[in-house]
Amino acid sequence: MSATTLTPVTVLTGFLGSGKSTLLNRVLHDTRYADTAVIVNEFGDIPIDHALVRRASENVVVLSGGCVCCRVAGDLVQALRDLHFKRAANEIPAFRRAVIETTGLADPAPLLATLVEMPVVAARYALSGVVTTVDGMHGASELDQHPEAVKQAAVADRLVITKADLADDATLDALEARLAALNPAAARIRARSGDVDASWLFDTGLHRHDGSRPDVTGWLGANEWRSFAQPSSRGPHDERIRSFTWTAEAPVSWDALEAALETVLELRGDRILRLKGLVNVGDKGPLVLHAVQHTLYPPAKLPDWPDNDRRTRLVFITRDLERGAIAPILDSFTSTSSAS
């Protein structure tokens, strides 16, 4: 299956009570996204009873607006597989995109890795992006107390600050500054009274349901990570999150860089929350790449460069891992090899 036929997947994460269900309900009631599969942990997470058209199986239901709702039932891979084959057999409406809701306490990194580690999933789905909801009233204390909440914010492509109508401006400003310190490249929005446009869930990354050209420079966020000044008010778990870039001025050999990255991920993958890259391989590129923990996604070739910067740029988001532990490995593999 080619990259253009892969179904884009948005991972919706966020701590308990932060408003994930509100966003999901926006999708279910928005006619623009009727051709969407929503994967939840339990059907009770969203009020589907009044909208149920038919039950395709114990864990898959079809809603009146056209959305397909699937319960994970403990096995995400099986849920994605079932959706694909039911779509192919015309047992459910064809869907063009999928949203996966995580549990509030979930570390998102293993789930992101699942999308590429399992061949049955990787051959049919591709990560589009990560959207994280953060409670506008209690987000700061959750970031203080729960490392999972910090990870959820750190890996996001978009951050939705919910309950903005219930929190004062000073609280919201402080929270937004803290989130910007954790993840300066992520777009942020404040949601008041649960009013969030469902479009914020989609087209957040490289794989888009309509095949339109993605904003690669924005997705990579290398300039934002490099230039952002960290504020002094950071929580205990925030301090464990690191972000840094590695660049190469001249074109690199993809074989050499791939070997270097595989070495890095094998040795340090448990501390790498997310890796994004734009690679100059001479006349064979550019390539975009993405990795989570120990897993490197297959690179995708772009038709042309998204900007005038022709350097190779790798952006690492890590936990308890400094640039000095990674850069020498990349340097040693690529310094003796160049693109031919």
Helices (H), 146-253: 147-154, 169-182, 216-220, 222-227
Please give the CATH topology (third level) of the domain spanning 3-201: Rossmann fold (3.40.50)
Same fold flag, 3-201 and 218-334: no
Predicted local confidence at residue 52, as pLDDT: 46
Q: How far apart are CA 323 and CA 315, in angstroms?
A: 10
Sign of CA dihedral 288, 243, 308, 330: negative
Helices (H), 137-192: 139-145, 147-154, 169-182
Q: What are phi and psi of 55, to 5 degrees?
A: -105, 115
Burial of 181 (0-12, 13-18, 19+ CB in 10 A): buried
Task: State which amino acid sits at residue 241.
Answer: I
Q: What is the dihedral of CA 57, 63, 68, 74, to 10 degrees?
A: -50
Are the beta carbons of 40 and 69 closer than 8 angstroms? yes
Q: How far apart are CA 189 and CA 245, in angstroms?
A: 25
Extract the residue ranges of the chain whose pLDDT is less than 70. Answer: 1-4, 42-66, 73-74, 203-238, 336-340
**Residue 47: cis peptide before it, omega within 30 degrees of 0:** no
- CATH number of the structural domain 218-334: 3.30.1220.10
Predicted local confidence at residue 140, as pLDDT: 95
Q: Give the residue extent of every domain in the chain.
A: 3-201, 218-334
Sign of CA dihedral 201, 207, 210, 212: positive
The string of pLDDT tens digits covering residues 152-172 is 999 999 999 999 999 999 999
Q: What is the DSSP letter of 115?
A: H
